[in-house]
Amino acid sequence: MSINPEIFKAYDIRGSYPKQINEETAFLVGVALAKRLKGTIIVGHDVRVSSPRLYEALFHGLLHVQNTSRKQLNFIPVGLISTPMLYFLTTHFKASGGVVITASHNPKEDNGIKMVAKSNQVIPPADILADIQKLKPIPASDRFSGPLPTIDTKPLYRAYAQYLASYLSLARPLTVVFDCSNGAVSAVLPQFLKALPKTSRLKTILINAEPDGDFPAHGPNPLLPGSMDELKKTVKEYHADLGIIFDGDGDRILFVDNAGNELPSGATLTLLARNTKGKLIIDVRSKGFLVQEYASAAKREIIDSEVGHRFIKEKMKSHRAEFGGEASGHYYFKEFFGVDGDLFPAIMMLNSVSRLEQGAHQWLKSLPQYHHSGELNFKLKDAKAQRAVLKRVEQSYKKTATKLMKLDGVRLEFPNWWANVRTSNTEPLVRLNVEADSDKLLKEKVKELTKLIKG
């Protein structure tokens, strides 16, 4: 059994197809999952060209275990699905787990596998790899190779759409442009719109809304330069109140205001948080001035988190928080099972924007203006060099910083600027985020920290 251990990442399995991840990988993951789980398992895939082939291979692994053991397994084969819809169905059916073939926002040549257990708890890929390495060889003649089970998926889509539609509550009519990026949300969004009552007060314009694994419009990652250009143009053309764009599997979402400008992460977090109460779970690279000022005014406590959805989800559960967020476009609501959603955050944003006394752009302009570097990446030789960078940063600012935190890398806080320097969990990179109350100060601090990082 030949399998590449490097594709088993911290939260999912991901690599280039077919060089790193292929049908053999998917089959063995299916076998390992079926041996680990029991009862009902939700199975789906995204729009990538290679996804149906990997879906079939993984399903053959699941069925192999069912046919060669006494385990009582019930599979719900959904086919094309967004990752958040998988989370919904896992909860809806009280399933023991779910699995979706997807590489999320990775380039179209890649593919991967996301796996969850009961209550949408991430199944660590390292555990699946260990299970696979313990398997005895399975000859091709012994493997299941029959037709896959199929079901009518319309009721599943309808149930998801109706659940989402129940949360839309607009205070005034809105026009919104949805950019589905030709990804999995292309299959979900039309069902949601059908489920809305005629009194919803929502007018929609859809672009790139045909599922297409070649991602012809702009690729599956909305964070890449140029990916939001068409959305911004369409928002201005239709004088829309908001633009919304999703990544390939739907769990990353970004927004454009009514002037056709990308809504900064601090403003996004603030508007989304207004739909909830209590504590906020925010990662250390996303806790900017705007969200801190909102939390202070609303008398809400911010709980700092490491970067990564596993940490956000764990802290939301342990602190019984209603909302958590990351600057990368992942937003978590207790009402959506504490996981990152596709249309659920979109609905929460629509609700908030409809309650503004002015447009989102005008609202943002009325707030204090801050300047952000975006996430800057620096490639280093190895983990030792990464650790040396963090040590240099800590030593340079420990006596002058108002607050220095080492929860995830080093976070520095000063009255008029802050920065987070952290290492990547998967690559020899150091990542830098800086925010300041003036462009001049921002450039000064980015230059200062860049010099420290490069040594």
How many whole angstroms separate alpha carbon 62 and alpha carbon 69?
A: 11
Q: Residue 172: exposed, middle, or buried by beta-carbon count in 10 A (0-12, 13-18, 19+)?
A: exposed
C-alpha span between 302 and 295 (Å, rounded): 7
| CA–CA gap between residue 42 and residue 46 (Å, rounded) | 14
Closest CA to 391 of 415, 423, 413: 423
Order of strands across the sheet that contains 202-207: 202-207, 174-179, 242-246, 253-256
* 3-state SS class at 366: coil
Cβ pair 183, 211 in contact under 8 A: yes
Contact 7, 41 (CB under 8 A): no
* Distance separating alpha carbons of residues 286 and 350, to the nearest angstrom: 21
CA 285/CA 275 separation, integer angstroms: 22
Place of tokens 């599943």: 156
3-state secondary structure of 280: strand
Q: What is the dihedral of CA 338, 246, 351, 313, to 10 degrees?
A: 10
Q: Which of 301, 292, 231, 315 is nearest to 437 (CA)?
A: 292
Structure tokens at 206: 């859809």
Q: What is the dihedral of CA 164, 170, 173, 178, to 10 degrees?
A: -30
User: Does the active-site annotation cover 296?
Assistant: no
Amino acid (1-letter code) at residue 137: P
Listed residue (126, 130, 125, 127) closest to 114, CA to CA: 125
Kindly name the residue from 50, 51, 96, 104 that is annotated as catalytic: 104
Q: Hey, is 55 helix, strand or coil?
A: helix
Catalytic residue positions? 104
